[in-house]
Chain A
Amino acid sequence: EIVLTQSPGTLSLSPGERATLSCRASQGVYTDYLAWYQKKPGQPPKLLVFGPSTRATGVPHRFSGSGSGTDFTLTIDRLEPEDFAVYYCQQYSTTPLTFGQGTRLDI
């Protein structure tokens, strides 16, 4: 099983700032099948970026993904008020599919 460790656990920033979220895998993620989801209370997860730098349809350009192998990053430029949420990385290369524990982005 690939264990994903996200850091930091909580990130406190202000609108307009840049957020950098990290996801480290316990072993290489085959074909870089790593995705990032945004999760808000009462809503389903929303796919942001995958593969690991392809933005999902309709996702603003301020969201970008990077990395390879075991280290991946989600960057959110110029934070908007609606960006404050919990972010999860997920590897979808091998079963069991696994998620990181999440990074809470607080305003």
Chain B
Amino acid sequence: QLQVQESGPGLVKPSETLSLTCSVSGGSITNTDYYWGWFRQPPGKGLEWIAYRYSGGSTYYNPTLKSRITISVDTSRNHFSLTLTSVTAADTATYYCASGRSYNPGVRDPFDVWGQGTSVTVS
């Protein structure tokens, strides 16, 4: 059974770079049956999509964050990572990684496997 779990620093200073990792278990991150994403939820606010990546490499970013984010994959460790540069207090949130089923280009299910989330405070 596929599972994902986030890890990260918890506290980041303003203007610094946030790096989060999503560890994948129960399946391979190179399996083209899946795609992988990042989301966040600021305290007291709604959910926001950050980015997602197909196992084949195609990556899509939220335009509001695109200039500051990078998604990378480490196949040897079976994990993928989110890097967010120049953080501000507005980046304080619980960050989630997730996975969904992908069938063909453009044919996919929504994200159905989610990590428990990791809380990040920028201060």
Contacts and interface: CB of A to CB of B under 8 A. Distances in A.
Interface of A: 33, 35, 37, 39, 43-47, 50-51, 56-57, 88, 90, 92, 95-102
Given A47-B112, A92-B108, A39 B96 contact: no
Interface string B90-112: 00000010101000000011111
Contacts, number: 52
**Which 5 A/B pairs are nearest by Cβ-Cβ distance?**
A44-B114, A35-B110, A97-B49, A47-B112, A99-B47
Interface of B: 39, 41, 46-49, 52, 60, 62-64, 96, 98, 100, 108-112, 114-117
Nearest to A97: B49
Specify which of B46, B47, B62, B110 lies most central, judged by the most chain A CB atoms within 10 Å of its CB. B110
Contacts of A50: 109-110
Nearest to A95: B60
A99 B42 CA distance: 14
A97 B39 CA distance: 10
Nearest to A91: B110
Contact of A102 (B46, B62, B98, B110): B46
Given A95-B60, A96-B62, A88 B47 contact: yes
B110 A92 contact: yes
A78 to B, nearest CB: 24
A35 B39 CA distance: 15
Contact of B110 (A43, A44, A90, A96): A90
Specify which of B64, B96, B114 lies most central, judged by the most chain A CB atoms within 10 Å of its CB. B114
